[in-house]
Chains A and B, each alone.
Chain A
């Protein structure tokens, strides 16, 4: 009997784990769909949407400008030294622009916003959960997902593509700084290449990615905060710290994973 149990044990452990993951995914999907639906439910929460737009979008502009500039500058360097070996440093503009618009722009923007706004969302909602503020909303008959998550999701749908656009534009300019001003490629050629090689389909692809990443980041971060109290590893302040950590880690990993999936479809 004991032997049977010991044989069964690892299967049980795996089974429980898989069941848990499936359940969690289901909960996440329901959470997302409810949030999405209540963006459009009456009465509109316009003030909260603007507030979140300011928090997620406006307040991230500086960080996005800085990372965009340095990423572009580094791409300028790396691209130049690689291309110069083949004597084709003239297409640096193409390389920088396409890399940024198709890949690095959406991905790095999303990861930066995760660090700046996503962690804050998880912590804020997590604290509201452990101090019964979310329960208080429910007792007032206020739909807590609609109140807390929907405005953030709506704000993410607007701000992620816009921030990605800023990142791309500043990045391309950063490539010009290193490529043209420092290493001597003619600015005319650089910008001609940018203009010539970037198609509308690349820009659309980048924006689709930004939209998806926005949904992923905000959903994961709000979800982690919202369900802080169901965590088994820790309660109270520890629970919030775990929620924040896993919000950032899971969001970052998922950004890269969905990026792969999306790229393979968009290409």
Chain B
């Protein structure tokens, strides 16, 4: 068994008569994103603040690589703190400092990096997060989305090993929200940090987390992968996920993945009863990352949104389409075999080509490429198997080249 990086053992915390954490046990593994979900006011932020030591537990222990943090010496603890970064719900930017000073502060105060290098590192971080030309502005002059990005830049500047995010996307519009998620997962892949996210964004957050933990009435009632939690039979979890999850994915307007899965079960039942066939198509935008590099995170999300909307417009009335991941859409085509599905995709691609692609038309030479993988369903095949069968039979579906 893997050893967790951070482990909470039976942590209790109450404020006066109000018990917030009632025996929380949770493991966080290195190099993974763990998301903590739960109702508002359940103490998710309090839990996160325990991990970084802003709040001390009444009882229980928090272990870092097996050593209780409370028993560490002062020097050890402050060395440990250097490995952490924390992104606050309300950003907590220093409002009397400029954006540049805000991002540079952790480096300036806690490291001996020379001034010139600090300047370069801050500049490059700002560039990566689409924060150009606002060095001298103050946080109050920025929009909500920009503030979040400045806070993210400040959290990332020291290249920490562990980053704790307290509702990083609350109050942002769907495009920006997905842009922040995409940024987090992007950086996580690039730098391999361990992330802990407190979030309400279901199911968006499932796309980028490896592990989900649910906090309910002061206890962790679930720990496991994103797929496991969606299949959990626990009524509290089911009710919560269904309640949080909107009928449509906010970004694409498509039904979210769990709904797609439910429809899959219905189709499977029909197959069993009437021997009808159906085909699953997975559309993957192959170079969504390149769009980000050219035009930024927001343009990336906007172009995904537009693509999804177009796909939906071209579907037949019985077809079902749902979002499968950061750059994937799943189509479920009832009473359609593989040949018919190919024909349908071909027609769709033809009409896309004639319509052009707005978001990327300013970048000559760029080729927007979407692949389609399809597989016909077999009786009683689990959805995960069918999806992977479809993905392994990928073909270029549509390419749009900007001239």
Contact = CB atoms under 8 A, between A and B. Distances in A.
Interface of A: 124, 127-128, 131-133, 135-136, 138-142, 147
Interface string B152-167: 0000001000000000
A139 B94 contact: no
B110 A140 contact: yes
A131 B96 CA distance: 12
Contacts of A138: 53-54
A135 B52 CA distance: 10
A133 B54 contact: no
B52 A139 contact: yes
A136 B86 CA distance: 7
A186 B34 CA distance: 84
Interface string B82-102: 101110101011111000000
Nearest to A128: B94
Nearest to A45: B109
A194 B81 CA distance: 59
B88 A135 contact: yes
Contact of B85 (A124, A139, A147): A139
A131 B92 contact: yes
A45 to B, nearest CB: 9
Interface string B321-349: 00000000000000000000000000000
Contacts of B52: 139
B95 A139 contact: no
A124 B109 contact: no
Contacts of B318: none
Nearest to B158: A140
Contacts of B90: 131-132
Contact of B88 (A128, A132, A147): A132
B387 interface: no
A136 B105 CA distance: 11
A212 B94 CA distance: 31
Contacts of B106: 140-142
A142 B78 CA distance: 9
B105 A140 contact: yes
7 contacts: A133-B95, A135-B92, A136-B86, A140-B81, A141-B81, A141-B82, A142-B109
A136 B88 contact: yes
A131 B93 CA distance: 8
Contacts of A142: 105-106, 109-110
A142 B85 CA distance: 12
A127 B92 CA distance: 11
B129 to A, nearest CB: 18
Greatest chain A CB density within 10 A among B93, B95, B106, B109 is at B109
B121 to A, nearest CB: 15
The 7 closest A-B pairs by CB, nearest first: A139-B86, A132-B92, A141-B81, A136-B92, A140-B106, A142-B109, A132-B88
Contacts of B110: 140-142
B99 to A, nearest CB: 15
Residue of A128, A141, A147 ringed by the most chain B CB atoms within 10 A: A141
A40 B327 CA distance: 54
B92 A133 contact: yes
B88 A124 contact: no
B92 to A, nearest CB: 4
A85 B158 CA distance: 75
Nearest to A142: B109
Given A131-B95, A135-B88, A139-B54, 9 more contacts: A135-B54, A136-B86, A136-B88, A139-B81, A140-B81, A140-B85, A140-B105, A142-B105, A142-B110
